[in-house]
A and B are shown apart, each in its own frame.
Chain A
Amino acid sequence: DQQVKQNSPSLSVQEGRISILNCDYTNSMFDYFLWYKKYPAEGPTFLISISSIKDKNEDGRFTVFLNKSAKHLSLHIVPSQPGDSAVYFCAAGRSQGNLIFGKGTKLSVKP
């Protein structure tokens, strides 16, 4: 049973526009959520996180939104750049627990 779901395997966006990546979770005990970015032949790198006591966290062009009632989070990238083309993993965790990762969404930003 998937506890963290990324239902869109891929997303294509024009350069300069907004990219919105979505993630759903089923375990209401999760209290911390993260997004990782992965380029081919490299390890994932941490991008941005949010705790369950917040509904928004912003870092430059990247903003994560958390809707606890819907058990949904999203990553907004504005404006999108070709260098943002990568696979994005959503992850969730709870106190004293390990991270659970989604299957990833491949973002392609076209010039």
Chain B
Amino acid sequence: DAGITQSPRHKVTETGTPVTLRCHQTENHRYMYWYRQDPGHGLRLIHYSYGVKDTDKGEVSDGYSVSRSKTEDFLLTLESATSSQTSVYFCATIGVGQGYYEQYFGPGTRLTVT
């Protein structure tokens, strides 16, 4: 358990509204990731961060932006939510000294865009 929390855990929003999801970790892990999970698609990487203010795009980054102003928080923003962004969103981290690829995941945020 890497002390990862996500907020909110559930959210319903309307198309066109901005939405920000928060990932908070207490282990001082350097790498943080945002994934989305959809039926028939598994887990797909949206954005990731390799340090404060250092972020990069993943496989499905269109329509999403991220920010990391401090080590413990990684924010995912949907500037104008669309129905195709209805999904379960997971945050993950890797710490120094762990197996390089062994990511710890948060509990997830279920987002519904109506």
Interchain nearest-CB distance for A107 vs B (Å): 15
Check A46 against B108 for contact (C-beta < 8 Å): no
B99 at the interface (CB under 8 A from A): yes
| A residues in contact with B4, CB < 8 Å | 43
A22 at the interface (CB under 8 A from B): no
Q: How many residues of B contact A (CB 8 A)?
A: 23
Also in contact, A104 and B42, with CB within 8 A (given A43-B90, A43-B108, A98-B48): yes
Interchain nearest-CB distance for A65 vs B (Å): 18
Check B103 against A46 for contact (C-beta < 8 Å): yes
B102 at the interface (CB under 8 A from A): yes
Q: Which 4 A/B pairs are nearest by Cβ-Cβ distance?
A: A43-B105, A103-B42, A101-B43, A93-B101
| Set B44, B45, B104, B106: member contacting A46, Cβ < 8 A | B104
Given A34-B101, A45-B105, A89-B43, 12 more pairs with CB closer than 8 A: A41-B107, A41-B108, A43-B4, A43-B92, A49-B99, A49-B101, A98-B48, A99-B45, A99-B103, A102-B42, A103-B40, A104-B42
